[in-house]
Amino acid sequence: MSDWDDGREPPKPSIGTLVERLSEQATRLVRSEIALAKTELTKKLTHAGIAIGLFVAAGVLALYGLGWLFFAAYAGIAEALAPWLAALILGVAILIVVAVLALVGKKQLSRGVPRRPRRPSRASRTTSRR
């Protein structure tokens, strides 16, 4: 069906016109996709920034809470022993926990990271040449 009122067929665009339209539309599409990607990335980074800030605040408050728990343990031990001895016992206990955590962390790190790059074995080198 024709869009023209007099019944004639509309003129067909030339190949040059079609290529020009394709170029314009492709450019417009790429620009709009880049703008959409920027918008999405900005939203994601905003949410990530807020999340990081909340995690930092939670970590700081957790450290304060842990300090108060250490103080409560100290005060409890100080009821039965001299305060200096209570502080010494609690300090040694904390250092033992720190040492165990550090050793476990070192063991996990050595499992995950090889000491040096590995060369392929002879068998795999000969099969890869074929």
The DSSP 8-state label assigned to residue 114 in this structure reads -
Residue 27 lies in a domain: yes
- pTM (2 d.p.): 0.54
Residue 60 lies in a domain: yes
Are the C-beta atoms of 74 and 86 separated by less than 8 Å?
A: yes
Expressed as residue numbers, the domain containing 29 is 15-113
How many folded domains does the chain comprise?
A: 1
For residue 7, what are its two tokens?
A: 């019944």
Residue 71 lies in a domain: yes
- Residue percentage of the chain with pLDDT more than 70: 88
Q: For the chain, how big is the Rg over CA atoms in Å?
A: 35
Predicted confidence (pLDDT) per residue in 40-51, tens digit: 999 999 999 999
